[in-house]
Amino acid sequence: MIPDWETNHLFLSDRLEVEEPALVTSLRSVLAGVPIDIIPGTKDIWCRDYMPVQVDDGTFLQFAYASDYLRSYEHLVTTPCQLPFMHDCRQESIVLDGGNVVASRNKVILTDKIYKENPTVERPWLRQRLEELFQAECIFIPKEPYDVIGHSDGVVRFVSENRVLVNDYSTADPGYGARLRTLLEKKGLDVDTLPIFEEKATGEHGVPSAVGNYINFLRNIIFSLPSGPQGQKHALEH
């Protein structure tokens, strides 16, 4: 897998330019030196969820973008597109959002929401298939209680190969936080916490607000890569 600290290219939904132009301007300023391209024809700003997942320098996996929270919001579903850098983009029938894939080089963390999204698929087969596709160990964590989205990128983040940050659930949901830490530590990961400041208001389309959830951050590390397609790694973000 390609961890986010090895990416060097940012892609944004064209809707973000319309809905949050100041944010796009700020990103271009803060990420000076990082190529930023706009994905045309999107229907929703959260492009990480519907665009392919990068496995290695030239391989991308396009999963089915058909999560249950999209029901009744079909007008917001973007048909994934083939971008020029995707030399090998493989179609997979498994229902999986990009936001439910948090990766280091050898480990991928997903929430157990994926089982609900693929009810006709036997769990052992699904786990094995995902590990074959990602060429990495898959770690399945419980989704946050009452979270209708069920993405791992709002819960945990790798900062190195065997170290993760998780939300500090000590006030918000200590039971969930304890279960999460125990599971991750059993998988050999060092766990640190990041403060979370929950906003109780409901966001767009009835989804709880993500204000105060800082675990889903954009990481900016600039370094040299070999030139040419085999040296390019890309970050698909909202």
Task: Answer for the pair 24, 125: CB distance below 8 angstroms, yes or no.
Answer: no
pLDDT tier, 136 (very low <50, low <70, confident <90, very high otherwise): very high
Mean pLDDT, rounded, for 181-187: 98
Average pLDDT, the chain: 86
Residue-range domain boundaries for the chain:
4-219
DSSP strand pairing (53-56 vs 59-64): antiparallel
At residue 205, the pLDDT reads 52
The pTM of the full predicted model, rounded to 2 decimals, is 0.87
Determine the 3-state secondary structure of 134 from DSSP. helix
Nearest partner of 48 among 30, 60, 59, judged by Cα: 60
Q: 4-219: which CATH topology?
A: L-arginine/glycine Amidinotransferase; Chain A (3.75.10)
Under the banding of pLDDT at 50, 70 and 90, the label for residue 83 is low
Please give the C-alpha separations between residue 173 and each of 95, 212, 220, 222, in angstroms, as whole numbers.
28, 15, 30, 36
Q: What percent of the chain has pLDDT over 90?
A: 60
Give the mean pLDDT of 140-153.
94
Residue 232, pLDDT score: 46
Once rounded to an integer, what is the mean pLDDT over residues 161-187? 96
Residue 82 has pLDDT above 70, yes or no: no
CB half-sphere exposure, 226, CA atoms < 13 A: 5
pLDDT above 70: residue 81: no
DSSP structure class, residue 201: S
